[in-house]
Chains A and B, each alone.
Chain A
Amino acid sequence: MKINVVKRVLNANDLVAQDNRKKFKQAQVLAVNFISSPGSGKTTLLEKTIQKLLPDEKSIALVGDLQTTRDAERLAPGALQATQINTGMSCHLYANQVADALKTLPLAKADYLFIENVGNMVCPGEFDLGENLKVVLLSIPEGDDKVAKYPTIFRAADLVLITKIDLMGALSFDLKRIQDDLAKLNANVPLIQLSSLKGDGMVPWIQWLKAQRRKGIGAQAKFVTEE
């Protein structure tokens, strides 16, 4: 017997991600997935961001790393809760790891859930966690050819953050090249340049985030499997 199916294959991960997204909506939390290479400044930016949002808005941080609980310890001071997920061999977070963490997170009390993915520009883009937005970071020392080298993640980005701009003078980095490459992939994606160290660019970043929270609750990140 031949059965004609013609059905979209939902990978097991997507089903859990959809469920996570429902929970975020119920709790009126904006969930943001931070993706970048190792060391682009995700944790440093989150440390500053969580503090800047206080006292009006409260955040939960969920950090994926292969090893150590260092990043969660760094984020704990200002966060409602900071939880580390050690992924062991896996170079990205899975939706079910987020789902497990949600069981112990005070989601109802939070305004934002910041998920710091494992440092990697490829695999995290393939795995929907249920986030509402993807923020992709690219730091000045990484070089200005990275958008062209990792097009898929930049195409899926809701915001591109150029980080460590205090190093702009010391290294040759052509911002125009980044903008041109992005324009080929994702015409309307906003780009913000910032330095978590010096504080430049923090104002537009926080403004963007707050605006997203107002309009983005329940939204679906780009190109994820639709519900």
Chain B
Amino acid sequence: MHEMSIAQGMIEQIEKIAQDYDAIRVTKVEIETGILRQVIADVMQTAFQAVSEGTLAEGSLLELREVPALAECRKCKMSFEPEIDNFLCPQCHLADVKILQGDEIILKSMECDSKEKKETHEN
């Protein structure tokens, strides 16, 4: 259940950002999860709910989007989409890659209620 640990780190970052913006409540959080991290969406939702309790993000909506993997061959620099058990470059047939995408979790955006105006609006 590494989702719990990820959610914990996320909440710490979210609270800090919310405080920087003088927000009183976080209503929505948007994240991207790299497929190589093998995050299970349902488990993540449950973990997020659990760790957000008692924080500014309690009761907020978590929107999660899975990002496919992208690898770059260190030899020929070609980029390609690897399989979880196959990182061979289609050109060189060598598995020596830099992961460009798909191994990280990104906090994309947050929607918050601010101190002055309690309504939510896009900017």
Task: Tell me the number of A-to-B contacts counted with CB atoms below 8 Å.
Answer: 101
The residue from A3, A94, A185, A223 contacting B109, defined by CB atoms under 8 A apart = A3
Closest to B2 in A: A126
Q: Which of A7-15, A134-142, A168-176 contacts B (4 or more CB under 8 A)?
A: A7-15
How long is the Cα–Cα vector from A12 to B105 in the complex, in angstroms? 13
Count residues on chain A whose CB falls below 8 Å from chain B CBs.
32
The residue from A5, A8, A127, A184 contacting B104, defined by CB atoms under 8 A apart = A8
A184 touches B86 (CB 8 A): yes
B61: shortest Cβ distance to chain A, in Å? Answer: 13
A127 touches B2 (CB 8 A): yes
Interface size class on chain B is 35 or more
List of B residues within 8 angstroms of A207 by Cβ: none
The residue from A14, A185, A223 contacting B95, defined by CB atoms under 8 A apart = A185
List of A residues within 8 angstroms of B112 by Cβ: 1-3
The residue from B8, B17, B38 contacting A12, defined by CB atoms under 8 A apart = B8
How long is the Cα–Cα vector from A8 to B106 in the complex, in angstroms? 5
A158: shortest Cβ distance to chain B, in Å? Answer: 14
Contact of A186 with B95 at beta-carbon distance under 8 Å, contacts A9-B107, A152-B38 already known: yes
Closest to B87 in A: A185
B2 touches A123 (CB 8 A): yes
Q: Which residues of A contact B (CB under 8 A)?
A: 1-15, 94, 123, 126-127, 148, 151-152, 155, 181, 183-188, 223, 225
